[in-house]
Structure 1
Amino acid sequence: MLQIFVVLTILMLLVKPVGTYVYHVYSNEPNRTDRIFGWLERLIYLLIGLKNRAGMTWRRYALSFLLTNIVLVAIGYLLLRIQSALPMNPNGIGDMEETLSFNTIASFMTNTNLQHYSGETGLSYFAQMAVIMMMMFTSAATGFSVAIAFVRGLTSKGKTIGNFFEDFVKSHTRIFFPAAIVVTLLLVALQVPQTLDPTLTVTSLEGAAQRIAIGPVASLEAIKHLGTNGGGFFGANSAHPFENPNGLTNVIEILSMWVLPASLPYVYGRFAKNRKQGWVVFGAMLTLFLAFLTIAYTSELRGNPAINAMGIDASQGSMEGKEVRFGIAQSALFTTVTAAATTGTVNNMHDTLTPLGGLVPLAEMMLNVVFGGKGVGLVNMLMYAILGVFLCGLMVGRTPEFLGRKIEPKEMKLIAAAILMHPLIILAPTAIAFMTDLGKGAISNPGYHGITQVLYEYTSSAANNGSGFEGLADNTPFWNVTTGLVMLLGRYVSMIAMLAVAGSLVRKQWVPETIGTFRTDNKLFYAILIGTVLIIGALTFLPAIVLGPIAEHLTLG
């Protein structure tokens, strides 16, 4: 409990200063960071031909980030297909297969980082850096930029939502590059490998030759957590001792993937000129997080009822699939944070969690509002905030307003489309997988756990998380293509819909606050926000959850 409390305390202390810094990065107002990074950004603007950094309409902003992502996808796909002919491949790794290349590129460009391959044997050093790490930076910067544009649309009065290329460049130069350098150096100091040497061949005490994979691990670890990406250099991800050797590196990785998403509600409050707005959103997110963390920790601490009934000593809780150096507390915390921040990195195998422990990351990804990844959680939570205001307005017969803008049918149709798309791209492919031999053939566990395996795979893809119930044999054309399509839809449909909402609201005339205005910065709205999230989540996903982890829990009991 003390371990968890210390990490939570550090997070709370970092939210305000980090949020203040992020606000100054994107406020487009002169500040001290201009003196440090301005010269580099001007050089980049010159190189890319960005002479005019005027604000964009939502359509131009969306088109700009889509075209940028398409170009990066094309480059990345080509490099994976010809990686055997490229330099920095000392281990002689071959080209990646077509459907796996599609899945990998879709995964990393959408900030999902779902891996149907094992990192140390599937990619050369060049591919790890030029494709995987490049997309870890650019996908995170894209998500951050879109989230800030959405916030500008909600809070600015008669202004544009910003310039994508300016936001995109600043995300790299002022946030991800500096932070990644610092975290990389910390991890190297704590014995995480960072080298271009080939795989080591050593002789064991018994005289057998053993090959040990190494590589540029620390630099990938830094951006995979800072960018809430999650793809591991090794197949075991952050459970591997080279990626995450001790408790201190574990805490650094937790904070790296958590601090920036947790600071965004405060950034939103700064943009809204009402910091209480931001703290209400942060409070709702933290409340949901603590509830999920409690379930994960207590479930794993109590252990598996079936194993306990056999008389086996389970005083340490359910340690199956967990690293002894982390134990129950740091494993449960890491699991809850990685799903809350939609990172997908794991320091234990989620497939071996108790049924209710496995329910926690699954439910967090289904809701997709508990802090979220780079901007995802804030945008989705604000979407639910607008929905909550709309429902309250209907109850009292008043046109709903949010931050001085009237919420009308156009905005609600877009929000409804975004809300409905998420369960559609999870539940429909899950049903298709169970109806076909191609889908059922990958399930390694019969019964309820097998249902959870499939449901988790598509939920992780739709939420751009990337973690998995690794018992699923998912490196087949069926799973590569279907999850690739789900990742693309889960990323871009909601982003475009929310930019459209921002574009609609930013053009509306600001309505002065009156005595009849429904306040969104008090305890009542905090409760309404949590209630809206839970009700919508229960209506869409509860039947599927009952068939999977809840049924498995009841049968074990």
Structure 2
Amino acid sequence: MTWQGWTLIAVFTALIVAIAKPMGVWLFALYEGRRTPLHAVLGPVERGFYRLSGIDPAAEMGWRKYATHMLVFNVALLLLTYAVLRTQAWLPLSGGMANIGPDGAFNTAVSFTTNTNWQWYSGEAAMGNLSQMLGLTIHNFLSAATGIALAFALFRGFARRQAPNETAGGIGNFWADITRVTLYLLLPLCVVYAIYLIAAGVPQTLDQQVTATTMEGAKQAIALGPVASQEAIKMLGTNGGGFFNANSAHPFENPGALTNLVQMLSIFAIGVGLTWCFGKAVGNTRQGWAILAAMMLLFLAGTGIAYWQEAAGNPALHQLGVAGGNMEGKEVRFGIAASSLFAAITTAASCGAVNAMHDSFTALGGLVPLVNMQLGEIVVGGVGAGIYGFLLFAILAVFVAGLMVGRTPEYVGKKIEAREVKLAVLAIAVLPLFILGGTALAAVLPAGLAGPLNKGPHGFSEILYAFSSATGNNGSAFAGLTAGTPFYNLTLGIAMWVGRFFVIVPMLAIAGSLAAKRYTPETAGSFPTTGGLWVGLLIGTILILGGLTFLPGLALGPIADHLAMIGGTLS
């Protein structure tokens, strides 16, 4: 470990905390539907969309209607992407790429619909430009916008002082939310971001490839495409799907140290802004800062462990005279500190972009991304998904606090009763059920055991990582797993769909239930939810639930792998 590495981590943390309020102010304007400086240009586009589609943006939706419209919208997008991938060979700008098979097209369509962006394929070898733009990039915008819209819906559940009842209204209008987020947040930011990336050397062209002459005089085809536009929303929307197989380790996606820092900041930018937006929505910005403090403490703990382990390196290699940290699978232009930080960021958010191969991390260095995903992608988390996932844990934490003080718990002025707690438990239980259940299935069936490159604990970690990434809607992978098979395409596709929407529906039910409740002002007997005690209780609740649930699986995988490594056994 070096002081330069710790300085990078400290600078990143300071910058991301500084971004929280300005981004939160903009998000709060969209949450309230207020006019922004961009309305002068984009306002007619928004109003035209409403007129063409017959939508009244002021019409409030109950949670059931909000959920129904959201699900129908996402199913329609899934079917569109599936059709594009199955027919890409016959479409323009295919670049000679073949049609994607049915199981692969299903997996990819589900992956991008759910904001997971799990990729079993090499982008430059399997996807034409039209598939990249129409089938995939469009999802990067709309799946991210869906997550932010859903966060707004839950915010309204907490913020509404009283709605007529939980089905009559109170949590907003799905179409208005997703339109405003796309028009006034994601599109403008991505235009600026893409221009910066182009200036930094990222390609943006409809040419599929360019032919270069090597020093030996041979001809080499170098893949190109509309990379910068996809890269921008890939990071800002915490999507993570790379245009190229090497993702952000590829110099055409991530040319150097400055673009690497910008990409890391952009992964967290909207997520941290939503914490401030939540505090503003409920009338107390200290609530948002408390959530952000808990998130950042968990993030820094994980980042510190990953950097420590990667900098320490492999003792078996040290005995062979290979000194230094673990550079296997890492780009020299980034180094150990930036690679460890990127790995922690991309899995703390539900991004999944990588600038180093996580399969090549040390056992405990690779454990950190696993734990980040298994905690529910809530340590900042995906855009929208992180904050509403975190608030589910907050409901459980305040329930525990209520049991300790002997009164009905309250959170930001709303009584947390049996229905909310049951729904929160139901949503949180989805992840361990499909992560551990899918891993167990793959670990005993021949089709599952054919996937891992390695045997023993590391091979088990590859399977566990895949189902953690899919169910948590992250999309990164231990690259040793051969996942482009019918078994993994189907099982991981199901895990991605369940991990997204089986969490969302109970969450929206909670939003509807809270919106129907009267506001209860704080009293001397209320448990304070803005100070250090609350932050500690939040962190403890998250770690205890995650530890009790996933510790046995981690013991069989990365922990056993670490013990074998320090014992001199390499798998």
Distance in 2, matches of 1:428 and 1:6, equals: 40
Q: Does 1:132 align with 2:141?
A: no
Distance in 2, matches of 1:543 and 1:343, equals: 26
For 1:384-399, list aligned pairs within 5 A. Answer: 384-399=393-408
Other structure's SS at 2:211 match: strand
Deviation of 1:409 (Å): 1.2
Q: Does 1:44 align with 2:49?
A: yes
Identity over aligned residues, as a percent?
47
Q: CA RMSD in A?
A: 1.1
Q: Does 1:359 align with 2:361?
A: no
Partner of 2:411: 402
Partner of 2:3: none
Distance in 2, matches of 1:511 and 1:253, equals: 42
| Equivalent residue in structure 1 for 2:456, among 439, 442, 447 | 447
Partner of 1:532: 541
Distance in 2, matches of 1:511 and 1:293, equals: 39
Deviation of 1:324 (Å): 0.2
Partner of 2:68: 63
Deviation of 1:508 (Å): 1.0
Deviation of 1:369 (Å): 1.5
User: Could you list the per-position Cα deviations for residues 21-80 of structure 1 after superposition, in whole angstroms to 9, with x for gaps in the alignment?
Assistant: 111111124554544532221111122221353110000000011011111111111111
CA contact (8 A) 1:304 1:354 kept: yes
Partner of 1:4: 9
Q: Which amino acid aligns with 2:71?
A: L
Partner of 2:247: 237
Distance in 1, matches of 2:520 and 2:211, equals: 70
Q: Does 1:547 align with 2:551?
A: no
Q: Does 1:340 align with 2:340?
A: no
Q: Does 1:434 align with 2:443?
A: yes
Q: Which amino acid aligns with 1:251?
A: L
Partner of 1:325: 333
Instruction: Please report the TM-score for the alignment, with normalisation by the length of structure 2.
Output: 0.95
Other structure's SS at 1:210 match: strand
Distance in 2, matches of 1:193 and 1:144, equals: 29
Partner of 1:14: 19
Deviation of 1:7 (Å): 2.1
Deviation of 1:286 (Å): 0.3
For 1:373-384, list aligned pairs within 5 A. Answer: 373-384=382-393
Other structure's SS at 2:350 match: coil
| Equivalent residue in structure 2 for 1:151, among 152, 155, 167 | 155
Partner of 1:212: 222
Q: Which runs of 4+ in 1 moved over 6 A?
A: none
User: Could you list the per-position Cα deviations for residues 301-352 of structure 1 after superposition, in whole angstroms to 9, with x for gaps in the alignment?
Assistant: 11112111212122xx110000000001111111111001110000000000
| Equivalent residue in structure 2 for 1:198, among 208, 230, 233 | 208
Deviation of 1:410 (Å): 1.1
Other structure's SS at 1:201 match: strand
Distance in 1, matches of 2:57 and 2:405, equals: 46
Q: Unpaired segments of 5 or more residues in structure 1?
A: none
Distance in 2, matches of 1:289 and 1:264, equals: 17
Deviation of 1:395 (Å): 2.2
Q: Does 1:248 align with 2:258?
A: yes
Deviation of 1:14 (Å): 1.3
Partner of 1:270: 280
CA contact (8 A) 2:50 2:57 kept: no
Deviation of 1:9 (Å): 2.1
Distance in 1, matches of 2:65 and 2:253, equals: 40
Q: Does 1:289 align with 2:293?
A: no
Distance in 1, matches of 2:356 and 2:452, equals: 20
Aligned residues: 554
Q: Which amino acid aligns with 1:184?
A: A
Partner of 1:103: 107
Distance in 2, matches of 1:244 and 1:450, equals: 29
Distance in 1, matches of 2:131 and 2:59, equals: 35
Deviation of 1:82 (Å): 0.5
Further displaced range: 510-519 or 434-443: 510-519
Deviation of 1:412 (Å): 1.1
User: Could you list the per-position Cα deviations for residues 240-292 of structure 1 after superposition, in whole angstroms to 9, with x for gaps in the alignment?
Assistant: 11111100111111111111111111110000110110100000000000000
CA contact (8 A) 2:395 2:420 kept: no
CA contact (8 A) 1:191 1:245 kept: yes
Q: Which amino acid aligns with 2:184?
A: R
User: Could you list the per-position Cα deviations for residues 367-417 of structure 1 after superposition, in whole angstroms to 9, with x for gaps in the alignment?
Assistant: 121000011221111111111111111123211112222211111111111
Q: Unpaired segments of 5 or more residues in structure 2?
A: 1-5, 164-169, 567-571
Other structure's SS at 2:221 match: strand
Partner of 1:474: 483
CA contact (8 A) 1:25 1:33 kept: no
Further displaced range: 36-45 or 210-219: 36-45
Partner of 2:77: 72
Distance in 2, matches of 1:331 and 1:512, equals: 46
Deviation of 1:239 (Å): 0.4
Other structure's SS at 2:212 match: strand
Deviation of 1:196 (Å): 0.8
Distance in 1, matches of 2:458 and 2:561, equals: 7
Partner of 2:569: none
Distance in 2, matches of 1:507 and 1:32, equals: 33
Deviation of 1:6 (Å): 2.2
Further displaced range: 422-431 or 513-522: 513-522
Instruction: Please report the TM-score for the alignment, with normalisation by the length of structure 1.
Output: 0.98
Change in Cα spacing, 1:29 to 1:179, as seen in structure 2 (3 Å) is: closer
Partner of 1:305: 315
| Equivalent residue in structure 2 for 1:417, among 399, 402, 426 | 426
Further displaced range: 29-38 or 481-490: 29-38
